[in-house]
Amino acid sequence: MKRLRVLHFLGGAALAFLMATAARAQGTPPQMYTAANEGQPLSTRVVNYQIDARLDAAKKTIDATEWLTYKNLTGQPQQTFPFHLYLNAFQPKSTFMTEVHLYGTRGMNAGSEWDPKHYGAITITKFEVEGMGDLTDKMQFIQPDDGNKNDQTVMQVTLPKPIAPGASVQFRIAFHDVMPEVVERTGYKRDFFMVGQWFPKVGVWWHNAWNCHQFHATTEFFSDFGTYDVRVTVPQNEVVGAGGDLISTNDNADGTKSLVFHSEDVIDFSWTAYPHFIDVEDSWTGSAGTVKLHVLMSPGHMASAPRYIKVLKGAMTLFDRWYGPYPYDRLTVVDPPHGAEEAGGMEYPTLITAGTGPDLVTPKGLLTPEAVTEHEFGHQYWYAMVATNEFEDAWMDEGINSYTECKVMGALYGDKTSAADFPFAQMSDFSQHRLEYLAEPDTDPMTRFGWQYLNDSAYGGVSYGKTATVLLTLERIIGADKMQEAMHEYFMRYRFKHPAPEDFMNTIQEVAGQDLSWYFDQAFKGTQILDYEVSDITSDRADWYNESGAAAKHDSLKKAAPEYKDTVVVQRKGDFIAPVDLEVKFDDGSVAREHWDGKGRWIRYSYVKAAQIKSAEIDPEHKMWLDRDFYNDSQTANGDSRANRKIGNILLAVSEWFSQLLSYLT
C-alpha cells in the first residue's frame, strides 16, 4: 500500500509547522501523526512507541526517552507490566552469556571467553506512569525462565492501581544504552552502529498470560503490533537508515542532526548510522503498490549492490505471487562493513541486514549474499507480519522461512545451483539445509522452546535445516499446488497476528483436505528418524534344484524356459513410520509397483517370472526428503551402483564449508 506516501504529501505542511515549533530538547515525544492522518490499521495496534534518542558516537552510548502508550485489549484489568531489556544480555552473569559459554550461539562457540568489548547494558533512569507519578523504585528484575537472579533482561512494574480493560496507559521511560561491540546482531564497530533491541519493550499478553521471556543464547524475540515515532539525533556526518519512513531531517546548532521516522503496523524498530554508507536507491512494484528500496552499502562492497537488488526484487516478486502482498512502502537493506559481520543476517520490520565480503575476494558463484538477503527479506513475512513467538516456536519463523528460502532461491538461481554455482562444484540451497538437518536429525523436536534445545547446533539443525526438510517433504506428500495454496492461506489468515503451531498445522490440513496428524506427530512434534532401506534383492532360478541336471530324470520337473523366484526385502531402519512406495524393475523391461504401510520392521515382496530383478528402489518419486539415508533407498542387480541419488565426494567436502558460512549468516 502507498498510504504513507500519500500521508507525506498531505501532512507536509502540518509537519513543517510541527517541526518548526517542536521543542528540540530531549524530552518531547516525537509524535508526528494524529489519529486522523494515520493510515487505516492493518494490525491490532496494541502499542504506540514514541522515542527521542540521542547517539553519542564517541562514547558508543544512547540516551533516550520513551513514551509508550499501551492499550489494554487483554479483556481484564492489568496492574503488572513486564518489559524486555535485551541489551542487559551482554554481561558475563546473564542467562544469555551463561548459555553461550555452555552451549554456544551464532558466531560464538561453547567455551568462548568473556570479552569485555562485548559488554552492553540498558539502564532505566526514570520510570513514570501518567497519572501515577514516578514508579522508578517499583521496578524489579524477574527471571521467569531459569531463576538466574543475575539476569536483568526482564523487568516488571506493578502499578498502584490496575488499568481497566479497554483503557490505555502511558509509560514515560528515560533510559541509557551502552552499546556492545557488535554481538548477536547489535552494537558498534569502529564508527558503524547497528542499533537493534535497544529500548524497553513491553511483553505480549498471549494465551491469557504475559509472555516475556528472558533473552537466551538461541532465542529471538516476540512483541505486539503498533506504531513507532522515533527521533534520532546523531552527528551531522552520519548516514542513517531505519525501519520507518523518514518524515523529516533537521540540522541542530550543536553539530548534530535530528531525523524523525514513523512506522505503522510493525512489531519493532531498529536503526543504523555510519558516515561511510553509500545509499543505493531503487524501487519495486508489487500488488500493493511501489516499494522504495534503500541499500546502504559499505565501502569496498559495491560489487555486491546489484546482487542484493536482484535477489531482493526476485524474492519480493515471488513472495507477492505465492504468499501475499508486501504492504509497506519501503525496505532498507544494511550491508555491514568489514569487521561488523556479526551485525549481518538479521531481520527487523522493513529493515534487514545482509552480508557480503570485499569485492575482490567474493566470488559470484558463492550465493551467500543472495541467500542471506532472501532469507532476511522472507522474515518480513515469517516474523514481521506473521508475528510468531520466536522464543517458543523458532521453527515457525526460522524454519518456515528456510523452507520458502529453498523455494525462492531454487526458482531464482536454479534447483541445483542455488547455494553454489562453480564449474567444479554446485550445491542447492536445499542440500545445504538438508546437511544441517543430517547433522542433528534426532536431538530435539521442532516444537521445543528455543532455549531448551540440547545446544546451539541442535537448535540450528532442527529449527532451520530439519524444518525446511520436513516442509519440503510435506509439500511432496500433499502436492506442490496444495502446499502453495496452504502457505498463501496461512499468510493471509495470520498476517498481523500471533499464530501458534496448531494454527499452522490446522491450516495445512484444512487446505490439503486430509488428516496429516501421523506426519505432524512424528516430524513436527517428535524426534523419530525416517529411514527405509532396500536391504536385499535376489533372483533365484525357480528350478534351482535342477542346475546339476539331477532332477531332469523326473519329467514333471523339466522346464523349457528358466523361471525365477525374485525377492525384494525392504526394512525400516528408523522409528519414523511412513507409507513406502517401491518400484521393482526386471530385465525384461517389466516394472512392479508396491505400496507398504511401513509399519512393520520389514516386508518381503516375491515374484515368480521369466525375468530377473534389475533394480529396486523405494520412494521412486523422491518425495521423502526427510529420509536420512538416500544411499540405501535402492539396489541394483550388479550391486555397486546402489544409490540413484549419489552426491559427489568433492561436493560433500566443500558442503561443510558452505554450510558453516551460510548458517553463520542466517
Q: Which residues contact Zn ion by CB under 5 A? A: 398
Is 376 or 533 the residue whose CB approaches Zn ion more closely? 376
For Zn ion, which is the closer residue by CB, 205 or 430? 430
| Residue 386 φ/ψ region, left for φ over 0, alpha for ψ in the -120 to 50 degree band, beta for the rest | beta
Q: How far is the CB of 405 from Zn ion (least distance, A)?
A: 9
Host H or E run for residue 536: strand 532-541
Query: Quick one: angle between helices 368-378 and 649-665, nearest 10?
Result: 50
Nearer to Zn ion, 385 or 582 (CB): 385
Q: How far is the CB of 445 from Zn ion (least distance, A)?
A: 19
- 205: cell is 499478553
**DSSP code string of 103-158:** H-BTTB-TTPPP-GGG--EEEEEEEEETTTEE-GGG-EE--TTT--TT--SEEEEE
CA distance 287 to 290: 8
Please list, in sequence order, all residues whose beta carbon lies within 8 angstroms of the beta carbon of residue 214, skipping any fewer than 6 positions away: 95, 96, 143, 144, 145, 146, 148, 151, 153, 154
Q: Residue 166 CB: number of other CB atoms within 10 A? A: 10
The CA-atom distances, in angstroms, between 184 and each of 123, 217, 224 are 19, 9, 22
Closest CA to 217 of 107, 137, 372, 81: 107
Give whichever of 392 and 398 is closer to Zn ion, judged by the CB atom.
398
CB of 124 to Zn ion, least distance (A): 30
DSSP class of residue 361 equals: G
Beta carbon nearer to Zn ion, 398 or 440: 398
Q: Closer to Zn ion at the Cβ: 301 or 375?
A: 375
What is the distance between the alpha carbons of residues 291 and 379, in angstroms, rounded to a whole number? 17
Q: Measured from the CB of residue 378, what is the shortest distance to Zn ion in angstroms? A: 8
CB of 393 to Zn ion, least distance (A): 13
User: Which of residues 227 and 350 has its CB atom nearest to Zn ion in the complex?
Assistant: 350
Give the residue with the Cβ less far from Zn ion, 55 or 331.
331
Helix (H, G, I), strand (E, B) or coil at 318: helix
Gyration radius (Cα) of the chain, Å:
29
Angle at the Cα of 642 from the Cα atoms of 600 and 597, rounded to 5 degrees: 20
Residue number, 85 or 318, with CB nearest to Zn ion: 318
CB nearer to Zn ion: pick between 468 and 477: 468
Look at residue 376 and give its three-state secondary structure: helix
Question: Would you say 398 or 627 has its CB closer to Zn ion?
Answer: 398
User: Which residue lies nearest Zn ion, judged by its C-beta?
Assistant: 398
Cβ–Cβ < 8 Å for 371, 419: yes
- Of 262 and 375, which CB lies nearer to Zn ion in the complex structure? 375
Q: Give the shortest CB-273-to-Zn ion separation in angstroms.
A: 24
Quote the cell numbers at residue 519.
Answer: 506426519
Q: What is the Cα–Cα distance from 125 to 552, expressed in whole angstroms? A: 103
Work out how close the CB of 218 gets to Zn ion at its nearest, in angstroms, rounded to a whole number. Answer: 12
User: Closest approach of Cβ 534 to Zn ion, in Å?
Assistant: 37
Min dist. Cβ of residue 123 to Zn ion (A): 30
* Min dist. Cβ of residue 204 to Zn ion (A): 20
What is the smallest separation between the CB atom of 156 and Zn ion, expressed in angstroms?
Answer: 29
Tell me how far apart the alpha carbons of residues 387 and 458 are, in angstroms, rounded to a whole number: 23
**DSSP states along 457-520:** HHHHIIIIIIHHHHHHHHHHHH-HHHHHHHHHHHHHHHTTB---HHHHHHHHHHHHTS--HHHI
Segments in 36-111 forming alpha helices (H): 95-103
Work out how close the CB of 362 gets to Zn ion at its nearest, in angstroms, rounded to a whole number.
21
Q: Vertex 543, ends 540 and 548: CA angle to 5°?
A: 105
